[in-house]
Amino acid sequence: SMENTGEQVVCLMAYHLLFGMFVWSYWKTIFTLPMNPSKEFHLSYAEKELLEREPRGEAHQEVLRRAAKDLPIYTRTMSGAIRYCDRCQLIKPDRCHHCSVCDKCILKMDHHCPWVNNCVGFSNYKFFLLFLAYSLLYCLFIAATDLQYFIKFWTNGLPDTQAKFHIMFLFFAAAMFSVSLSSLFGYHCWLVSKNKSTLEAFRSPVFRHGTDKNGFSLGFSKNMRQVFGDEKKYWLLPIFSSLGDGCSFPTCLVNQDPEQPSTPAGLSSTAKNPENHQFPAKPLRESQSHLLTDSQSWTESSTNPGKCKAGMSNPALTMENET
């Protein structure tokens, strides 16, 4: 329907560019395997045997206590216990959840997406966001370039050929997908800005001091960098550049969140009693630990530096199984 050759060339180039990025992102979202917890979070064979033999009591908790004392975990169950998966027989890292479809524990699980037939988590969340962004741009581009011919369809300005029905169908399809994709993409942009997953948006993570819906938020800029990485040249490409290892994450419990008050809700009583600070230091990967360099540290770090060593045991924790 286009008569101008320059318009045809520009539209074809823009179309194939958006289509190529859309397919690339979609492919990476589908075929990138979800990451599972590392071996350090799995119970040893001897610990598994002890759990099977011992009744659910103090001896049962002691096994979990020895297994979890050196792990970099902050989140707890609603009852304040260590998050343990009976199916995978492992202690769940922070933000890790068991997917009933994949039957595996997925690092930083966001949701299981039927449209990509894959779990969206730490390993492919950036790809999923780019897939939403490029599919939205793809549909908007089609709707925008088709609009003038769609108007001509209703004003009888198009030749009476079969192509006129293709134009009408194309505009309706592109416009409807644009509406649905814009709402979904906008929602996930909000999640990234707050450093939340879909699961955490519906059920806030629980820490030692209680529920904290912004427990992982480090500020807008750092939240973006945690997902997209430090090098902006890779932000728009479906190439893995997220910071961290997926097993441990910086939290405002260790370094205060600049978006929140200096003392989190429910923490005033523990701040007066240093013995209640039982958080182990997180062994963050170098690429992620620098996100915390300009944040305020716990007062405890200066008053009692011996408690901030990695691998610190925490006998005060109450532990139980969580399915």
What positions carry a catalytic annotation?
113
Return the residue matching tokens 């997953």.
Answer: 197
Residue type, 91: I
Residue 8 burial (CB count, 10 A): 11
- CB-hemisphere CA count at 13 Å for 62? 7
Secondary structure string (H, E, C) spanning 196-245? CCHHHHHCCCEECCEECCCCCCCCHHHHHHHHHCCCHHHCCCCCCCCCCC
Return the residue matching tokens 């479809």.
Answer: 101
Residue 30, both tokens: 């589908």
> What distance in Å separates the CA atoms of residue 237 and residue 27, rounded to the nearest whole number?
13
Question: Which sign, positive or negative, has the C-alpha torsion 52, 54, 58, 62?
Answer: negative
Alpha helices in the chain (DSSP H): 5-31, 45-53, 58-68, 125-154, 163-194, 198-202, 220-228, 268-271, 286-289, 299-303
